[in-house]
Amino acid sequence: MSSPILSLDRTDIKILDILQKDGRISNTRLAEMVNLSATAVLARVQKLSKDGFITGYEARLNPEMLNAAFVVFVEILLDKTTPNVLEEFSDAVLQHPEIVECHMISGGFDFVVKIRCANMEEFRKISGQVLWQLPGVKETRSYPVMEVIKESSQIKLKYQNKAI
C-alpha cells in the first residue's frame, strides 16, 4: 500500500505548506505563489480538502488574553484497558473543552492529556471535578508548564523524502 503523500505532487505540497502557515491567504495570492491560475489552485484546494489532506481551518487565539494560559499535562492510568473502558474514557474526554488534547500512549500510563485553564486553582477544580470523574481513572500525574518554548500544529512537509 502506498503512502497518501505519494499521490501529491510538489505543487500540492507547496499549497499545503502555505495554507498551514496562513489559512486566510487569498486564492489569488496563493495562485501567484505556486504559479497557477486562481481556478486551478481553487480546484486543487477543493480536492485536497475532499481527499482529507485539509481537515479544516481555525484561528489561533491568544490564551493569555482569554484567561487560558495555564497549561498542565496529565498522565492518566486506567484501572483496566478493556475495549469498553477505553471507549467510555475516550467518549467522556470529548465532552470536556478544557481538555484540549488527549493521546493514548504506551509505557507506564495509558493516556496523556493537555489541559488549558486560568491558573492552578482552576486546575485543582478540573482535576477533582473532571479528570477524576472520567471512567476508569486509577491514577494521575500532573505536570504544570512553567514556560512554553515551542508550540505548533504545523507538519514538516516532504516531497519524495526531500523537505520542502
CATH of the domain at 33: 1.10.10.10
For 48, the 3-state DSSP assignment is: helix
Residue at 96 is within a domain: yes
Averaged pLDDT, 49-71: 95
Q: Please indicate, yes or no, whether residues 54 and 93 belong to a single structural domain of this protein.
A: no
Is the pLDDT at 2 greater than 80? The verdict is: no
Q: Please indicate, yes or no, whether residues 97 and 50 belong to a single structural domain of this protein.
A: no
Averaged pLDDT, 72-84: 97
Q: Please indicate, yes or no, whether residues 114 and 50 belong to a single structural domain of this protein.
A: no
Residue at 110 is within a domain: yes
Number of domains in the chain: 2
Q: Please indicate, yes or no, whether residues 46 and 112 belong to a single structural domain of this protein.
A: no
- Please give the model's pTM, rounded to 2 decimal places: 0.85
**Residue 78: how many CB atoms within 10 A of its CB?**
19
Q: Please indicate, yes or no, whether residues 90 and 119 belong to a single structural domain of this protein.
A: yes
Query: Nine-digit cell at 139?
Result: 491514577
Burial label, 21 (beta-carbon count in 10 A; 0-12, 13-18, 19+): exposed
HSE-up of 129 (CA within 13 Å, CB side)? 8
Residue-range definition of the domain harbouring residue 93: 70-144
